[in-house]
Chain A
Amino acid sequence: DAGVTQSPTHLIKTRGQQVTLRCSPKSGHDTVSWYQQALGQGPQFIFQYYEEEERQRGNFPDRFSGHQFPNYSSELNVNALLLGDSALYLCASSLLSFTEAFFGQGTRLTVV
């Protein structure tokens, strides 16, 4: 049983560019959440998707947007990249009826 998979593993972008990160949830999971983890910090909640809709959102600007597809996979898009967007982006999947969240290995984004 494959766990949560994220792609790409690493990414380098230039300030002002746009980036798309991808996540495939664990088999049987219908809810996907995205987190940003800056170096030396704990993960910060960005948003959560269920039934292709954004259910909850953390304190992140509108430059951060997402999408969930009918197969429950998800994308995180970040526009107009800033140097401060450099971080590890983690995807977590779970069942909405509340089970523990399982995390992927993350995408390391570096903005230069």
Chain B
Amino acid sequence: AQKVTQAQTEISVVEKEDVTLDCVYETRDTTYYLFWYKQPPSGELVFLIRRNSFDEQNEISGRYSWNFQKSTSSFNFTITASQVVDSAVYFCALSESSNFGNEKLTFGTGTRLTIIP
């Protein structure tokens, strides 16, 4: 069975500080996908990144970066020079691949990030 653990329930940092959100996953499959979504107060889940299990390269997109380590089953997310607009709940999710293509997402419980001005 798939499982995603986000141990950090809430994090608060002062604006311009760097912050890392942790994600640990469990799966029996060798082919799977990992995601991060942002959920602002409006409720809509905003897609941030998708990473497949064969691509362990770290990725950077502006102030966002992701560290994927299969050896520790972790997919951590770092925001550099945080801004107030980054305040939201962040979800890590896992999807196993199959012949059907897009599989269901298994989400963690989320990390509420508050950036203090």
A residues bordering B, Cβ < 8 Å?
31, 33, 35, 40-45, 48, 50, 55-56, 58, 88, 90, 92, 94-106, 108
Q: Could you say which of B101, B104, B110 contacts A96, with CB atoms under 8 Å apart?
A: B101
CA distance A100 to B104 in the complex (A): 11
CA distance A96 to B47 in the complex (A): 17
- Chain A residues with CB under 8 Å of B42's CB are 105
Complex A-B: 9 CB contacts under 8 Å: A31-B101, A42-B108, A43-B91, A44-B107, A45-B106, A56-B103, A98-B33, A101-B105, A105-B43
Known: A90-B45, A105-B44, A108-B43. A45 touches B105 (CB 8 A): yes
CA distance A97 to B102 in the complex (A): 6
Q: Is the CB of A31 within 8 A of B102?
A: yes
Q: Is the CB of B104 within 8 A of A58?
A: yes
- The smallest C-beta distance from B12 to any residue of chain A, in angstroms, reads 17
- Chain B residues with CB under 8 Å of A90's CB are 43, 45
Interface string of B75-117 (1 = CB under 8 A from A): 0000000000000000101000100111111111110000000
Leading 9 A-B pairs by shortest Cβ distance: A42-B107, A103-B45, A45-B104, A98-B101, A105-B44, A96-B101, A106-B43, A98-B102, A94-B102
Q: Is the CB of B108 within 8 A of A48?
A: no
- The smallest C-beta distance from B26 to any residue of chain A, in angstroms, reads 15
B16 close to A (CB within 8 Å):
no
Q: Is the CB of B47 within 8 A of A48?
A: no
- The smallest C-beta distance from B76 to any residue of chain A, in angstroms, reads 17
Interface string of B26-50 (1 = CB under 8 A from A): 0000000101010000111111001
- Most B Cβ at <10 Å: residue of A48, A58, A90, A98: A98
- Most B Cβ at <10 Å: residue of A55, A58, A100: A100
